Structure 1
Amino acid sequence: MKLIIAYIQPHRLENVKKCLAEQDVAKMSVTNSLGCGAQAGYHESYRGVQFDVNLLKKVRIEIAVNDEFVKKTIDAIIKGAKTGNIGDGKIFIINLEECIRIRTGETGNDAIG
């Protein structure tokens, strides 16, 4: 079991969801986040005051999958999020020690579904 965490551009979310659905991956958590990577932000002026904006809007997607779904989940995220420009995002893959479905008490691969 793996936990896949992806940070993507907000305007690519619908496309990523579509690509994931094509691979039968429908269970996910999505949150808005702020972050800074290679983009390093931008410089802005508001009412004559200069300031740097280095925390940019991103979307964080978390998906717990069984091992046989890892590659196709990653491929779907890349397909949906990639524009070829700096700031497309990052994907992190973490070993998932245990998963428990609260409603039924199922554990492990059965709990992920």
Structure 2
Amino acid sequence: MKKVEAIIRPDKTDRLIDSLEAIGINGLNITEVQGYGSQKGQTEMYRGVTYRIRLRKKIKVETIVEAEKLTEVVKAIKEAAQTGEVGDGKIFISEIENAIRIRTGEEGTTAL
């Protein structure tokens, strides 16, 4: 099993969910996060005062998938979230040793 974490632009969330549902991925955790990276924040003006926003709002999407579906999931995320501009985000992949469904006690991929 693999854990896929994607940090994406907030406006790409619905498109990403639709893409993952289309390939049979239904279990997601989505969190609002803030980060600092290549975009280096932005400058805005409010009531005549200029200030710098260093942390950019992003969405973190997490899912656990069978290793056989990993390539398909990564492709779906890239296609749904990519704009070609700085700040499109990142995808992180890590190994998951086990998953356990609390309600039934099922383990492994059946718990997904």
Same fold (TM over 0.5): yes
Q: Is 1:69–2:69 an aligned residue pair?
A: yes
Shift of 1:110: 1.4
Q: Deviations over 1:16-54 (max 9, x none)?
A: 111111111111011111111111111123334432111
Unaligned runs of 5+ in 2: none
Instruction: Give me the TM-score of the superposition, normalised by structure 2.
Output: 0.94
CA distance in 2, matches of 1:28, 1:15: 14
Shift of 1:76: 0.5
- 1:14-29, aligned counterparts within 5 Å? 14-29=14-29
The AA in structure 2 aligned to 1:94 is S
* Structure 2 match to 1:30: 30
Instruction: Give me the TM-score of the superposition, normalised by structure 1.
Output: 0.93
Q: Deviations over 1:82-106 (max 9, x none)?
A: 1111111100001111111001101
The AA in structure 2 aligned to 1:19 is S
* Structure 2 match to 1:60: 60
CA distance in 2, matches of 1:50, 1:88: 26
The AA in structure 2 aligned to 1:37 is G
Q: CA RMSD in A?
A: 1.1
Which has the larger displacement, 73-82 or 41-50? Answer: 41-50
Unaligned runs of 5+ in 1: none
- 1:93-112, aligned counterparts within 5 Å? 93-112=93-112
Paired residues in the alignment total: 112
> Sequence identity of aligned pairs in percent?
39
CA distance in 2, matches of 1:14, 1:44: 27
CA distance in 1, matches of 2:79, 2:26: 16
* Structure 2 match to 1:10: 10
Extract structure 1 runs of 4+ deviating beyond 2 A: 44-51
